[in-house]
Structure 1
Amino acid sequence: MHAYGGRRSKAQQDAATVEIGYALVSAAFAAAVLFGAVAGPALLFDLPRLLSKALLWLGMAVAPVVFVVRVVSVLIRFQRAVQPSQPGLTNPDS
């Protein structure tokens, strides 16, 4: 985006769309892995009923939190990234 709220170019719009997709997919993957790690033992093993329910509830409570935190962190990092002023140009010191 331009410094003073100007319109975004097509390349900037495309970059934002790709970054949003990446944020959603990586967040879904992270949440699924975490749910599997927490609730997996309850689904695979014959655990006491109370422990099994606790692990399932914990997995269902933590997974959405991880999803939201991952999406927000990726999008904030993208927003703060310094973009080249013109497509294809980078800082000579990079």
Structure 2
Amino acid sequence: MTSHGGRRTQAERDAITVEIGYALCSAAFAAAVLFGAVAGPALLFGLPDTVELLLVRAGLVLAPLLFAARVASVLLRFRAADQPSQPGRTSPDS
């Protein structure tokens, strides 16, 4: 339901769909980069076993946390943004 009590328009549903897709793609990219930065040296270089295990596990813990945080931040920011009622127009409260 929208703030005015009616059903969502097709444009509102499309905007939500696009925002969810952006949140998931950007979060997956950020998590992959973080995993590569943390666990990459362990996978590329011959480090001691303990260090390799620590780096890979740290990457496996931090990447999903970053993924969830990124998705939440993008979607909450979208939800909090005051969207104009019509494209190209400002809302009446402004």
**TM-score (norm. length: structure 2):** 0.91
Partner in structure 1 of residue 84 of structure 2: 84
Query: Structure 1 stretches (4+) deviating beyond 3 angstroms?
Result: none
SS in 2 for 1:85: coil
How many aligned residue pairs are there? 92
Matched letter for residue 68 of structure 1: A
1:17 aligns with 2:17: yes
Task: For residue 5 of structure 1, report the CA deviation from its aligned partner.
Answer: 3.9
CA RMSD, aligned part only? 1.5
Alignment of 1:1-94 (within 5 A): 2-90=2-90
Distance 1:12 1:3 in 2: 12
Task: For residue 3 of structure 1, report the CA deviation from its aligned partner.
Answer: 1.6
1:26-65 per-position Cα deviation (integer Å, ceiling 9, x unaligned): 0000000000000000001000000000000000010000
Distance 2:38 2:5 in 1: 44
Unaligned residue ranges in structure 2 (runs of 5+)? none
Identity %: 64
Distance 2:76 2:30 in 1: 18
**TM-score (norm. length: structure 1):** 0.91
Instruction: Out of 20-29 and 78-87, give the one that drifted further.
Output: 78-87
